[in-house]
Structure 1
Amino acid sequence: MKILVVSDTHGRDENFEQAVMQEAPFDMLIHCGDVEGREIFIEALTECPCHIVSGNNDFFSDLPREEIVEAGNNRIFVTHGHYYGVSMDITGVIDEAKDRGCNAVFFGHTHKPLLETIDGVLALNPGSLTYPRQRGRRPSYAIVNLDQTGHLTAELKHL
């Protein structure tokens, strides 16, 4: 199974469309928030199961604040991250994932890509496709693969 993970597209579709075209086909899309009203477009473009959570800029949205996605024998906690202070420290979001019995957490908000395993939890922030903030400011996203044994591997990618 191949999962495209994105965040912080902020209603701008050009780089998102490019990432979708580069990575197709994939089996699932996870968007970690700040879609700014573009969820119907995102779902139509990807033509696969989509899990989209609301971010701090998704005003008046009906999107869930967070979600647990099951992929194989993995439980993935998906959140934007702003309720857990991820701009300062990711300990809170890691603890929340563990408390919910999840072995992975996908989040956004900082616009900076991150991939590391902490206390047995795979922490993934795909960065932003629209307003990257890391050194070099290259739009980024992630690809997560689930092998036959159910093991998750992730890779950060740039446009």
Structure 2
Amino acid sequence: MKVLIVSDTHGRDENLELAVNREAPFDMLVHCGDVEGREFYIEALADCPCSIVSGNNDFFSDLPREDVIDIEGNKVLVTHGHYYGVSMEFDQLVEAAREKGCNAVFFGHIHVPVLEEEDGVLLVNPGSLAFPRQRGRRPSYAVLETDEKGGMHVEIRYL
């Protein structure tokens, strides 16, 4: 299974379109928030099952605050992260994932790519396709692929 993970597009679709076209075909798209009203466009663009959560800039949105999805037997918490203090540390986020029985969490908000494991929880932040904040400020996203045993292999990719 191949999953495209994006975040913080802030209503700017050009780099999202580039990432979708570069990575197609994929089986699922996960957006970790701050779509700014573009959720229907994103779902149509992806043309596959999507999990899209609300971010701190998704005012008046009907999107869920978070989602728990299954990826080949892996339970994954999808959230924007701002309710869990991710700008400072990931402890609350890891605790929330563990409480929900998740072995991975996909999040956004900080506009910086993160790929690490903490207390048995895989943390994935794809960075931002619109306003990257890491050194070099290259727009980024993540691609997850599962192996035959359901193992998750994630890579941060840059435009």
Task: Please tell me the TM-score bracket, short chain as reference.
Answer: over 0.9
Q: Which amino acid aligns with 1:25?
A: P
Alpha-carbon distance in 1 for matches of 2:146, 2:98: 20
- What secondary structure sits across from 1:134 in the alignment? coil
Q: Which residue of 1 aligns with 2:33?
A: 33
Alpha-carbon distance in 1 for matches of 2:60, 2:85: 22
Q: Which amino acid aligns with 1:71?
A: I
- TM-score, normalization: structure 1? 0.99
For these two proteins, the number of residue pairs brought into alignment is 159
Q: Counterparts of 1:1-159 in structure 2 under 5 Å?
A: 1-159=1-159
- What secondary structure sits across from 2:70 in the alignment? strand
Q: Which amino acid aligns with 2:69?
A: V
Alpha-carbon distance in 1 for matches of 2:54, 2:141: 17
* Distance apart, 1:148 and its partner CA: 1.2
Query: Over aligned residues, Cα RMSD in angstroms?
Result: 0.4
- TM-score, normalization: structure 2? 0.99
* Fraction of identical pairs, as percent: 65
- What secondary structure sits across from 2:15 in the alignment? helix
Q: Deviations over 1:58-95 (max 9, x none)?
A: 00000000000011110000000000000000111011
Runs of 4+ in structure 1 off by over 2 angstroms are: none
